Structure 1
Amino acid sequence: MAELQGMPVGRHLEAIVAECRAQNSIGGYPARKMFRGFPGFDFAVDFHGRRPATPLGPASGPHTQMAQNIVLAFLGGSRIIELKTVQIRDQLQIPRPCIDVRNVGYNIEWSQELRLHESYQEYVNAWVLLKLIEKLELLGVPAGDPFYATVFDLSVGYDLAGISSPPMQRWLAGMQNAEAAIAAALATLPPAFRHLRHTAIPPNLSDSVTLSTFHGCPREEIENIVQHLISVHGFHVIVKMNPTLLGYETVRRVLHEALGYTEMQLDPQAFETDLQFDEAVAMLQRLQAFAGRHGRHVGAKFTNTLVVKNHERIFKDEFIYLSGPPLHVLAMHAMQRFRQAMGAGFHLSFSAGINKQNFAAAVACNLRPVSTCTDLLKTGGYTRLFDYLKNLKQAMAETGSRTIAEFILADAGGTAASVAAAGEINAGRIVPALVHDPQYHARMNRKAPPKINSHLALFDCITCNKCLPVCPNAANFSLPIGKKSLPLINSLRFQRVNSCWRRRSKSPISRISAMTAAIATPTARRPAVRSSRSRVSFSRKPALRNPRRATASTSPRPTR
């Protein structure tokens, strides 16, 4: 497996400040797309008694594994960060590739790619970096403003034996009190930032957990895990549900008949072994009472991925896991049915096929957080988050709303007795219409990304600018160099063909490749190549042990 390696806080902060000053960006994220709030609009929501500044978050997955992941998500406006799932088995061999998002989304991966202690360090580093960004006021917002209010929501799996094991117990306790780790992280700050070494940073990184369990996990096991997390650790707990709650026939009808995804073949056994709807309702009712006795909250998240039979050539596994547009429709139907059974006031979070077009509608259904993954693995990467909040602001302005509560009430016509009741009313209007929305239909999601008729070797870059923002780990970056004339290495190997240089073996080499080679290896006698390109792309080696493989491994990966 490709290995990821984090950097100390000091090196992160040096890079952040230097890039911010030199290029007006952070981790390649341009300042013009950074969320700084919208005057007159308050996006804050309640989350287990805390008030994060927005309901938006990256879902537990590749966008919340490394410290830079979390910083970039924050820059886009995410304020409820669903951290990557951790488990006791932290030396997994994950097949490559493990994610495919050419149109919809499929994956065969699950938990963290780091060791437990490495995941812990990355989350501590991210927490510290967010506080230092606030302290330095790099976004131009005064320190202490509610704009910065951010919540880390843990994600753990997958069975009671693993979660209650000593290493996991220590890990969970460390997330609740990271005082020593925070002090150690601050100690890595270089002399230029010595004045920040004693910054007061809250030691409690999180007081909530979203529980992820194996497909087919028995009801008793899930219930015991939740009770353990509440009674032993004092966490608020959200249980991630599977779309199989809807039942085989309902899922088949929506997926095949309503949306047209007939190529996706379901696994009947998954519907038999997964938690059943009535079981889930009864279990959450018991857990709601249990949590109340301990002064904690429980909720449900919709949904996990949907297991389908492998009909693609990308993966070798018998089954693959669906995300993206079709899952959105299924998850919203499951959410609405579950809320009707549990009551309008029951806490629900959501992550399935969220994008800038449907984010505001999900917020109107009183879901929090509303998180995303698959959409961020498309062109633009983290910068797509800004448009989620921009569209939410527009929807709020159209209803004359200035807060999320006002928006939910106004979207329901202003007649609901409470925000909870209004959210249920809105879902009753929004969810049935989804099957008629073309953006979720198969015919709109079959097109594969365009390909070029060229084999790209190392540094033979077409400068499409897709890999830079899409990589969840910010492992790629560009250096602005302007127009320059650079000599070409070993002219005997290349010949000029129109506006490009080609290898005499007929393997194409772009002008940018020649530039990169010339920079890397000076040679005395060589012809000049004039370039009109303005950027050269490299891998950010300090963050990775094996940059090529690690960059490939962090291609589209929704969580399971």
Structure 2
Amino acid sequence: MSDTMRGVPFPELLKCALAEYRKSGSFYHVPVRKGTGQGLMQLAGRPLSLPVGPAAGPHTQLAQNLIAEFAAGARIFELKTVQILEGEALGIQKPCIYVDDEAYNIEWSTELTVREAAEEYIKGYLALQLLAKECGLDADFQFHISVGYDLAGIQSPKIDWFLNTMQDASSTPFWEQCLQQAEACLSLFERVDAAFLRSIDPHISNLVTLSTMHGCPADEIEQIAAYLIEQKGFHTYIKCNPTLIGYDNVRKLLDDLGYGYVSFDHSHFEHDMKLPDAVAMIERLQKRAETQGVTFGVKLTNTFPVQIQHEELAGDAMYMSGKPLFPLAIHVALALSQATDGRLPISFSGGIDAHNMQAVLDCGIAPVTVATLLLKAGGYRNLARLADLAPASIPAQVDVAKLEALCASIRQDPYYRKPEVAKKQVPPSTPPIACFRCRNCVDVCPNRANVPLPELKAAVHVDSYCNECGNCACLCPFGYIPYRDKFTYFETEADFMSSSNDGFLNREKYRWNGAVSTDFSALPEDLRQVVDTFLAQKDGVSV
């Protein structure tokens, strides 16, 4: 099978989402949360009904991902980082995600080309506007973009086009193409008309997060941020590294909490920006932003680079996220907040979950976003729980005393200690081809590539949505590799021929036990039912 994912055409995106909502009250297998944010807040000069959503990562690459997150209650969307290096040139090895108690990855920016990424973000933005109107959901959401990794790349024509497009998509042919496609689909809607469609604000994003590689010089980070603020006019946040609190503090925090096996050396701490330099730079950039009438803040934090010791993923190094990242990131928040008397806006994503989200927001740190939480059992549905836990109000700036108390509590909190992780069950010799023993692979796939057929107690894998990240294999309690083992739907002949998976190409042909045939009557009856049900759902309800 191919590890290259493709976006869903915009008309199909709308048709599938609406049909599924009317049948089951869900978008892309995620129940639609009807509640709105408990208190309206302003961020980057725009309204935001709930400061909770996905972080820039595997869940914010494709438009269907954004729709699934919106269903769960997300209203802040940090889009996957875009850089001048794109597509196959990235050379990302697969699988690229490994989830245990914590999570690890070896990917860093979108696997799409810059133009493909912009098109997915345009489709997602327009779809959310239309679905919110049709389904009576609040539309006070925000898209925040992320770019990297050096000044030359960000100033290149390719990334400059991306920045300009996100600021105002109305000048791009693809925006107009999507509007025309939506106009052709207006019969699907009851509450959306042409006037509403044409009134949608084309200014997709006015806030950018700068993501730089570990070891990027402080002066270059400052130059890039100044460029984004002064030349491009964005509200700008810079992503900071856990290394800001120093090697000894990081090592002791992880050791005290049972993560002594996590291996790293001094190299990143030596090459990354130091805390005094960061504080001085922040003060200068805040003044620049104030002069331009925009916001400057920090995003905490980058994932933490560690050494690969047990072949969890390919290569020598990987990036750690999840629960053990929280103590590191929240101590970075404390150090920066103490140095700036709480005046520094902080966006936070390091290990946020239901255990700590309320405490973080109560400190005046917002918005909060998640990635690892969505890779675990429950997947996108975990966002709904966070949305329900959001407080009614958030302090206008960081409460340093509360933040100090939160940091002091971590070592005494058993929640943050490394737990014993149960061993996976040994799989049978032959995995069930359309296994639906649980729905883990459905829920945890970032790209919605495992589609449930509950009436048959089956699930089908969609080849074109999958990038072989490997997360479904990590979370399968039976030890299967769903993206290889499941009966697979192929959209094109090329997809079918490039894969060894058993599966079907529409109603044209299928592969079963490795043999290709066009005689569907020879396919086992249970698999014929899977094919018929899936294709009927795809054509009339949802993929």
TM range (shorter): 0.7 to 0.9
CA contact (8 A) 1:366 1:420 kept: yes
Query: Partner of 1:389 in structure 2?
Result: 387
Distance 2:435 2:97 in 1: 23
Query: Partner of 1:294 in structure 2?
Result: 292
Query: Partner of 1:183 in structure 2?
Result: 176
Give, as a single letter, the amino acid of the residue that structure 2 aligns with 1:238. Y
Q: How does 1:25-174 map onto structure 2 within 5 Å?
A: 25-30=26-31, 34-37=32-35, 42-91=38-87, 92-136=90-134, 138=135, 140-141=136-137, 147-174=138-165
Give, as a single letter, the amino acid of the residue that structure 1 aligns with 2:47. R
Residue 438 (structure 1) aligned with residue 414 (structure 2): yes
Query: Partner of 2:200 in structure 1?
Result: 201
Deviation, 1:127, is 0.7
CA contact (8 A) 1:105 1:374 kept: yes
3-state SS in 2 of match to 1:203: coil
CA contact (8 A) 1:460 1:509 kept: yes
Label 1:532 to 1:153 Cα distance change in 2 as closer, same or farther (>3 A): closer
Deviation, 1:231, is 1.4
Query: Partner of 1:404 in structure 2?
Result: 393
3-state SS in 1 of match to 2:237: strand
Query: Partner of 2:476 in structure 1?
Result: none
Q: Which has the larger radius of gyration?
A: 1
Q: How does 1:323-472 map onto structure 2 within 5 Å?
A: 323-392=321-390, 396=391, 403-405=392-394, 408=395, 419-420=396-397, 423-442=399-418, 444=419, 446-448=420-422, 450-455=424-429, 457=431, 459-472=433-446
1:456-508 deviation digits (Å, cap 9, x = unpaired): 55825253111112111112212344599xxxxxxxxxxxxxxxxxxxxxxx9
Distance 1:541 1:227 in 2: 47
Label 1:115 to 1:509 Cα distance change in 2 as closer, same or farther (>3 A): closer
3-state SS in 2 of match to 1:46: strand
User: Which shifted more, 379-388 or 194-203?
Assistant: 194-203
Query: Partner of 2:482 in structure 1?
Result: none
Give, as a single letter, the amino acid of the residue that structure 2 aligns with 1:477. V
RMSD: 3.2
3-state SS in 2 of match to 1:131: helix
Distance 1:89 1:524 in 2: 47
Deviation, 1:134, is 2.1
Deviation, 1:51, is 1.9
Deviation, 1:202, is 0.3
CA contact (8 A) 1:56 1:369 kept: yes
CA contact (8 A) 1:82 1:155 kept: yes
CA contact (8 A) 2:82 2:146 kept: yes
3-state SS in 2 of match to 1:321: strand
Distance 1:321 1:482 in 2: 39
Tell me the number of residue pairs that the alignment of Structure 1 and Structure 2 aligns. Answer: 478
Label 1:182 to 1:524 Cα distance change in 2 as closer, same or farther (>3 A): closer
CA contact (8 A) 1:480 1:536 kept: no
Query: Partner of 2:3 in structure 1?
Result: 2
CA contact (8 A) 1:155 1:209 kept: yes
Query: Partner of 1:247 in structure 2?
Result: 246
Deviation, 1:227, is 0.8
CA contact (8 A) 1:187 1:197 kept: no
Q: Which runs of 5+ in 2 are unaligned?
A: 459-484, 488-501, 504-509
Give, as a single letter, the amino acid of the residue that structure 1 aligns with 2:7. G
Label 1:541 to 1:283 Cα distance change in 2 as closer, same or farther (>3 A): farther
3-state SS in 1 of match to 2:143: strand
Label 1:479 to 1:275 Cα distance change in 2 as closer, same or farther (>3 A): same
Deviation, 1:333, is 0.9
CA contact (8 A) 2:207 2:234 kept: yes
Deviation, 1:449, is 5.6
CA contact (8 A) 1:53 1:149 kept: yes
Distance 1:336 1:243 in 2: 12
Query: Partner of 1:233 in structure 2?
Result: 232
Distance 1:192 1:72 in 2: 21
CA contact (8 A) 2:74 2:387 kept: no
CA contact (8 A) 2:230 2:288 kept: no
Give, as a single letter, the amino acid of the residue that structure 2 aligns with 1:348. I
Deviation, 1:531, is 13
User: Which shifted more, 101-110 or 190-199?
Assistant: 190-199
CA contact (8 A) 1:211 1:238 kept: yes
Deviation, 1:49, is 1.8
3-state SS in 1 of match to 2:347: strand
Label 1:123 to 1:176 Cα distance change in 2 as closer, same or farther (>3 A): same
Q: Which runs of 5+ in 1 are unaligned?
A: 142-146, 397-402, 409-418, 485-507, 548-560
Residue 479 (structure 1) aligned with residue 456 (structure 2): no
Label 1:438 to 1:170 Cα distance change in 2 as closer, same or farther (>3 A): same
3-state SS in 2 of match to 1:238: strand
Label 1:467 to 1:11 Cα distance change in 2 as closer, same or farther (>3 A): same
Label 1:264 to 1:482 Cα distance change in 2 as closer, same or farther (>3 A): closer
Deviation, 1:46, is 2.5
Residue 13 (structure 1) aligned with residue 6 (structure 2): no
Distance 2:518 2:413 in 1: 52
Aligned-residue sequence identity (percent) comes to 36
Label 1:456 to 1:468 Cα distance change in 2 as closer, same or farther (>3 A): farther
TM-score by length of 1: 0.79
Deviation, 1:379, is 1.3
Deviation, 1:189, is 3.1
Give, as a single letter, the amino acid of the residue that structure 2 aligns with 1:225. I
Deviation, 1:455, is 4.2
1:340-393 deviation digits (Å, cap 9, x = unpaired): 00121210110111111211111111111100000111111111111112233x
Query: Partner of 2:499 in structure 1?
Result: none
